[in-house]
Chains A and B, each alone.
Chain A
Amino acid sequence: MKRTRLLLAAAIVGAALIYLIIGGLRGSIVYYVTPSELQAQGQADAGKTIRLGGQVAPGSKQWNPATLELRFVLTDGKHSVLVHHRGAPPDLFTEGQGAIVEGTMGADGAFESRSIIVKHSEEYAPPAPGGQ
Chain B
Amino acid sequence: MTAAVGSASVLGALVVTVCGIAALMRGRHRGPAGWIRSGYAAPVGLFVLVSVAVGALETALVRSDFSIRYVAGNSNLVTPLLFRIVTLWGALEGSILLWQWILALFTLIVALRYRTRYPDVLPSVLSVLLAISAFFLLLMAGPANPFAQLPVPPADGRGLNPLLQNHVLMIIHPPLLYLGYVGFSVPFAFAMGSLFSGHLRDEWMAVTRRWSLAAWTFLTAGLFLGARWSYDVLGWGGYWSWDPVENAAFMPWLVATALIHSTMVQARRGLLRIWSLALVILTFLLTIFGTFLTRSGVLASVHSFTQSLIGPLFLAFLAAAMMVSLGLLAARLPTVRDDGHIDSPLSREAMMVLNNVVLLAMAFTVFLGTVFPLAVEAISGVKVSVGPPFFNRMFVPLGSLLLLLMGLGTIFRWGQPGREEFRRLGLVAAAAAAAAVLLTVLGLREPLITIGIAITVFMALAQLMEYARGVRARRAATGEDPIRALAGLVISNRQRYGGYLIHLGLAVAVVGIIASMSSRVEVERALSAGESFQIAGYTIRYDALIPKPAPDRLVVAAHLAVWVSNGRAMAGTRAGGPAAVVVAPSLNFFPQDRTPVATPAVRSSWREDLYLVLMGVDANGRRVVLNAIVNPLVSWIWTGGAIMVVAGVVASWPSRRS
Contact A121 to B625, CB < 8 A, known contacts A17-B364, A25-B368, A25-B390: no
Residues of A within 8 Å of B303, CB to CB, are: 132
Residues of A within 8 Å of B297, CB to CB, are: 123
Q: How far is the CB of B528 from chain A (nearest CB, A)?
A: 9
Q: Is the CB of A123 within 8 A of B294?
A: yes
Q: How far is the CB of A33 from chain B (nearest CB, A)?
A: 8
CA distance A122 to B165 in the complex (A): 12
CA distance A74 to B365 in the complex (A): 33
Q: How far is the CB of A25 from chain B (nearest CB, A)?
A: 6
Q: Let me know if B427 is at the binding interface, CB within 8 A.
A: no
The 8 A CB mask of B590-602 against A (1 = contact, 0 = none) is 0000111110000
Instruction: Kindly report which residue of chain A lies nearest to residue B362, judged by CB atoms.
Output: A17
Residues of B within 8 Å of A21, CB to CB, are: 364-365, 368, 394
Residues of A within 8 Å of B300, CB to CB, are: 123-125
Q: Which chain A residues numbered 13 to 44 have a C-beta less than 8 Å away from chain B?
A: 13, 17, 20-21, 24-25, 27-33
Q: Let me know if B361 is at the binding interface, CB within 8 A.
A: yes
CA distance A124 to B365 in the complex (A): 23
Q: Is the CB of A24 within 8 A of B382?
A: no
Q: How far is the CB of A18 from chain B (nearest CB, A)?
A: 9
CA distance A129 to B125 in the complex (A): 50
Instruction: Kindly report which residue of chain B lies nearest to residue A121, judged by CB atoms.
Output: B245
Q: Is the CB of B164 within 8 A of A122?
A: yes
Q: Let me know if B241 is at the binding interface, CB within 8 A.
A: yes
Q: Is the CB of B393 within 8 A of A28?
A: yes
Residues of B within 8 Å of A127, CB to CB, are: 301
Q: Is the CB of B234 within 8 A of A120?
A: yes
Residues of B within 8 Å of A94, CB to CB, are: 594-595
Residues of A within 8 Å of B524, CB to CB, are: 68, 87-88
Contact A24 to B394, CB < 8 A, known contacts A17-B364, A123-B299: yes
Q: Let me know if B430 is at the binding interface, CB within 8 A.
A: no
The 8 A CB mask of A51-88 against B (1 = contact, 0 = none) is 10000000000010110100000000000000000011
Residues of A within 8 Å of B235, CB to CB, are: 90-91, 118
Q: Which chain A residues numbered 68 to 117 have a C-beta less than 8 Å away from chain B?
A: 68, 87-94, 97
CA distance A24 to B390 in the complex (A): 5
Q: Is the CB of B625 within 8 A of A32?
A: no
Residues of A within 8 Å of B616, CB to CB, are: 63, 88-89, 91
Instruction: Kindly report which residue of chain A lies nearest to residue B595, judged by CB atoms.
Output: A92
Q: Is the CB of B241 within 8 A of A120?
A: yes
Q: How far is the CB of B64 from chain A (nearest CB, A)?
A: 20
The 8 A CB mask of B616-652 against A (1 = contact, 0 = none) is 1010000101010000000000000000000000000
Residues of A within 8 Å of B299, CB to CB, are: 123-124
Q: Let me know if A119 is at the binding interface, CB within 8 A.
A: yes
Q: Is the CB of A29 within 8 A of B618?
A: no
Q: Is the CB of B390 within 8 A of A28?
A: yes
Q: Is the CB of B386 within 8 A of A93?
A: no
Residues of B within 8 Å of A25, CB to CB, are: 368-369, 372, 386, 390
Q: Is the CB of A91 within 8 A of B597?
A: yes
Q: Is the CB of A90 within 8 A of B386?
A: no
Q: Is the CB of B385 within 8 A of A30?
A: yes
Q: Which of B236, B301, B623 touches A132 (beta carbons < 8 Å)?
A: B301
The 8 A CB mask of B124-151 against A (1 = contact, 0 = none) is 0000000000000000000000000000
Q: Let me know if B341 is at the binding interface, CB within 8 A.
A: yes
Residues of B within 8 Å of A123, CB to CB, are: 294-295, 297, 299-300
Q: Is the CB of B394 within 8 A of A88?
A: no
CA distance A88 to B243 in the complex (A): 23
The 8 A CB mask of B286-309 against A (1 = contact, 0 = none) is 000000001101011101000000
CA distance A119 to B402 in the complex (A): 33
Residues of A within 8 Å of B364, CB to CB, are: 17, 21
Instruction: Kindly report which residue of chain A lies nearest to residue B596, judged by CB atoms.
Output: A91
Residues of B within 8 Å of A121, CB to CB, are: 243, 245, 294
Q: Is the CB of B526 within 8 A of A66?
A: yes
CA distance A120 to B300 in the complex (A): 11
The 8 A CB mask of B377-412 against A (1 = contact, 0 = none) is 000001111110110011000000000000000000
Q: Let me know if B161 is at the binding interface, CB within 8 A.
A: yes
- In this complex, the interface size class of chain B, counting residues with CB under 8 Å from chain A, is 35 or more
Residues of A within 8 Å of B365, CB to CB, are: 17, 21
CA distance A25 to B91 in the complex (A): 32
Q: Is the CB of B243 within 8 A of A31?
A: no
Q: Is the CB of A68 within 8 A of B526?
A: yes
Q: How far is the CB of A43 from chain B (nearest CB, A)?
A: 19
Q: Which chain B residues numbered 211 to 245 have a C-beta less than 8 Å away from chain A?
A: 234-236, 241, 243, 245
The 8 A CB mask of B191-217 against A (1 = contact, 0 = none) is 000000000000000000000000000
Contact A65 to B623, CB < 8 A, known contacts A2-B341, A88-B615: yes
Q: How far is the CB of B255 from chain A (nearest CB, A)?
A: 15
Q: Is the CB of B387 within 8 A of A30?
A: yes
Q: Which of A2, A29, A31 has the most CB of B within 10 A?
A: A29
Q: Is the CB of B387 within 8 A of A28?
A: yes
Q: Let me know if B163 is at the binding interface, CB within 8 A.
A: yes
Q: How far is the CB of A69 from chain B (nearest CB, A)?
A: 11
Q: Is the CB of A91 within 8 A of B245?
A: no
CA distance A132 to B300 in the complex (A): 10
Q: Is the CB of B393 within 8 A of A24?
A: yes
Q: How far is the CB of A36 from chain B (nearest CB, A)?
A: 13
The 8 A CB mask of B36-80 against A (1 = contact, 0 = none) is 000000000000000000000000000000000000000000000
The 8 A CB mask of B89-118 against A (1 = contact, 0 = none) is 011000000000000000000000000000
CA distance A120 to B236 in the complex (A): 11
Q: Is the CB of A28 within 8 A of B389?
A: yes
Residues of B within 8 Å of A24, CB to CB, are: 390, 393-394
Q: Let me know if B557 is at the binding interface, CB within 8 A.
A: no
Residues of B within 8 Å of A97, CB to CB, are: 594-595
CA distance A94 to B369 in the complex (A): 30
Residues of B within 8 Å of A13, CB to CB, are: 357, 361
CA distance A20 to B392 in the complex (A): 12
Residues of B within 8 Å of A33, CB to CB, are: 383
Q: How far is the CB of B514 from chain A (nearest CB, A)?
A: 20
CA distance A121 to B234 in the complex (A): 10
Q: Which of B394, B587, B594, B618 touches A20 (beta carbons < 8 Å)?
A: B394
Q: How far is the CB of B297 from chain A (nearest CB, A)?
A: 6
Apart from A17-B364, A24-B393, A51-B383, what 20 extra A-B contacts exist at CB < 8 Å?
A17-B361, A17-B365, A20-B394, A28-B393, A30-B386, A31-B382, A32-B383, A63-B618, A65-B618, A65-B623, A90-B235, A90-B615, A91-B598, A94-B595, A120-B245, A121-B294, A122-B163, A123-B299, A123-B300, A132-B301
A-B residue pairs in contact (CB < 8 Å), sample of 26 = A2-B341, A27-B390, A28-B386, A28-B390, A29-B372, A29-B386, A29-B390, A30-B384, A30-B385, A32-B383, A63-B616, A63-B618, A65-B623, A65-B625, A68-B525, A88-B526, A89-B616, A90-B235, A91-B597, A91-B616, A94-B594, A121-B294, A122-B161, A123-B300, A125-B300, A132-B303
- What 9 A-B pairs are tightest by C-beta distance, nearest first? A32-B383, A88-B615, A65-B526, A28-B390, A88-B625, A28-B389, A92-B595, A122-B161, A88-B616
